[in-house]
Amino acid sequence: MDFVDFVVPQGWGNDFPQIAASINNQAHAALVPACALAAIVMRESGGRNIYQERMPHDSPDCGYGYCQITYGADRSDPNHPTYNVDGKTYDLFDPSSNLYVAAKGFLAPAITDMLNLRSSLGVGAMPQEILLYAFAAYNAGSYRVSQVIRAAGDPDSITTGGYGAATLAFYHTALAAAGN
């Protein structure tokens, strides 16, 4: 993992320049790599602050905002879904809030969980880059990914459309744009 500032790669869409500073700020606040958070934004919404496409806005499966937060979202007001983290309530359609919730509430724990799992199982049980597993856990949950890894399976087998590998590819694109 590289903790460099996110620089918008060419071709990543018109919204990214407006949120690049917020991606960096919220990633730094949550102590996660900014390029990893940007990769999630790219994979989840292509850089758009949206309701999940083709999904009823009040559905428990609807994702919200740049990072398409689903699990744990309070949908009581579908126009302003919220999420609680760090003892505070965040509006998932506020760009900075959505990015912070994704970074602090989902990505940081996923990275920690996967590092702890690798430590307990040994590097040989998890030979790929740790962010592959963390991205899979962001999508499918750390517990489910851990179960698959313990059974010597591919964590992307339980994600949406090879989420871990696809998001890792976006991460590497972001790193290259940042000069790493």
| Assigned domain for 69 exists | yes
| Assigned domain for 2 exists | no
* pLDDT at site 78: 76
| Assigned domain for 68 exists | yes
Task: Look up tokens 């962001």; give the residue.
Answer: 138
How much of the chain exceeds pLDDT 70, in percent? 93
b/e per residue, 13-51, with b = 16+ CB within 10 A?
eebbeebbebbbbbbeebebbbbbbbbbbbbbbebbbbb
CATH number (domain holding residue 99): 1.10.530.10
| Assigned domain for 46 exists | yes
Q: How many CB atoms lie within 10 A of CB 84?
A: 13
| Assigned domain for 5 exists | no
pTM: 0.93
- Round the average pLDDT of the chain to a whole number and report it: 92
| Assigned domain for 7 exists | no
Number of independent structural domains in the chain: 1
Range of the domain at 111: 16-177
Cβ–Cβ under 8 Å, residues 158 and 149 = no
Which tens digits make up the pLDDT trace of 95-154? 999 999 999 999 999 999 999 999 999 888 899 999 999 999 999 999 999 999 999 999
pLDDT at 51 over 90: no
| Assigned domain for 10 exists | no
| Assigned domain for 35 exists | yes
